[in-house]
Amino acid sequence: MRKASILAGLTLLLAVVIFPLYYTVAGSLMTQEDLTRFPPALFPTGLNWENFAGVLQAVPLARQYLNSIVVSLCVVAGILVTSVLAGYAFTFLHFPFRRFAFGLFLSTMMIPAEASIIPNYLTMADWGLVNTFPALILPFLASGFGTFMMRQFFMTFPREVYEAAKVEGCGHLRFLWSILVPLSRPALGTLAVYSFIGTYNHYFWPLLVTNTPSMQTLQIGLAQLNSVEERAPNLILAGVVMAIIPMLVMIYAFQRHIVRGLTTGAVK
């Protein structure tokens, strides 16, 4: 009895929380008429799959999908490489001003990207990179958080293994690549998932540095779709459904990684 009432309560709560998700999916199957009368429909009157074709006609979502994925994957790859290298240097190597340099790296976490967005735009403009992949990717190739995270992880690594490898004449790169990286898979996976989601959701920067639908990312494409098809909410919602599918897959598949990434620094 008690369990049943808890379940009922949870179901109700869930219904409220995921209602916008329901309406997105339902609306993506409705007709324009369903959504532009007052009050609008709650349930689709039929299954209008052609909405999805309609979206692709209004904005090149497929291409923008690809752009978002290319940009996100490049950024992930960049962050993994730069963070692993820097984290390694800060953990295993002795060099002057190490603490200071590490502090400087960490301080980048305090700089909100928006505070330097105008000069960054001007830089891209000077370099003639506006509306190109490099403009979307370059500024994000390193991460203070990523460096911090890799260093934290490397610190838990038994020092003796490092010393033993050194004695056997194993070079830094080889040690890094064949011993450290394979053992750091959980941390790398978490950092990868975390950076991917962050980059995939970028909005302000891509809005500034892209001019053509074929260079725009999915997020900008959605905003444009919302503006250009204002009178056809069914199309807009179909676009949203397409945009969130990869994220839904990711959060179901990598929930553990996501939680770990989100809580690094909170619950150790």
Partner 1 sequence: MSTASLPGGRYRRKDIVVALCFLAPATAVFVMFGFYPLARTIWLSVAASDIFGNVTGFVGLDRYGDFFSDPALRRVLLVTLAFVVLTVLPTLLLGLFLALVLQARVPGIGFFRTLMATPFAFSAAAAAVVFDILYSPSVGLFNGLLDWAGLPVVEWLTDPATALPSLALVSVWRDLGYAMLVFSAGLQAIPESLFEAARTDGAGRWTLLWRIVLPLLSPTMFFLLVVSTISSLQTFGEINILTGGGPDGATTTLVYGLYQSAFAFGTSDYGLASVQAVVLLVLVMVITIIQFRLLQRKVFYG
Partner 2 sequence: MPPGRILRGIAMAVSAVMVTSVTACGAGGDGFSGQTVTFWHSMAGKNGEAVAKLVADFNGKNSGKIRVQAIYQGKYNDALTKLRASIQSRQTPNLVQVFEIGTRLMVDTKAIVPFADLAQAGGFSLDDLEPGIARYYTMGGKLQSLPFNASAPLLFYNKDAFQEAGLDPEKPPTTLGEMAKAAKKLTVKSGDSTSRYGFVASIDGWLVEQLLANAGVEYCDAGNGRASAATAVNWNTPTLKGIVDFWSTSVKDGVALNVGRNNTDASAAFQAGRAAMLPFTSANLRDIISGSKFEVGVANYVRPDDAESGKGGVFNGGGSIWTLAGHPKEQQDAAFDFLKYLASPEAQAAWSTSTGYIAVNSKAQETETFKEVLKTYPDFAKPAEELRAAADVPAAQGCLMGAMPQARDKMNDIVESVILGRATPETAIADAETAIKPAIESYNKSVGQ
Phi, psi of 66 (to 5 degrees): -60, -45
Q: Is the Cβ of residue 69 or residue 106 nearer to partner 2 in the bound state?
A: 69
Q: Interface mask (CB under 8 A) for partner 1, residues 92-111, using x and -?
A: -xxxx-x--x--xx--xxxx
3-state secondary structure of 73: helix
DSSP assignment letter at 180: I
Report yes or no: 43 and 26 within 8 Å, Cβ to Cβ. Answer: yes
3-state secondary structure of 131: coil
Show contacts with partner 1 in window 105-144 (CB under 8 A).
105, 108-120, 122-123, 138-139, 141-142, 144
Kindly state whether residue 253 participates in binding partner 1, applying the rule CB under 8 A.
Answer: no
Kindly state whether residue 106 participates in binding partner 2, applying the rule CB under 8 A.
Answer: no
Element at 86 (helix H, strand E): helix 61-92
Show contacts with partner 1 in window 193-222 (CB under 8 A).
200-201, 203-204, 207, 219-220, 222
Q: Is the Cβ of residue 62 or residue 109 nearer to partner 2 in the bound state?
A: 62
Show contacts with partner 1 in window 147-186 (CB under 8 A).
147, 172
Amino acid at 123: T
Report yes or no: 199 and 72 within 8 Å, Cβ to Cβ. Answer: yes
Q: What is the DSSP string of 186-230?
A: HHHHHHHHHHHHHHHT--HHHHHH--STTT--HHHHHHHHHHHTT
Mark the segment that binds partner 2 (CB under 8 A) among 67-75, 99-107, 157-165, 240-248: 67-75
Interface residues toward partner 2, by CB under 8 A: 36-38, 63, 66-67, 69-70, 73-74, 76-77, 80, 121-122, 124-125, 128, 130-131, 177-179, 181-182, 184-185, 188-189, 192, 208, 211-214, 224, 227-232
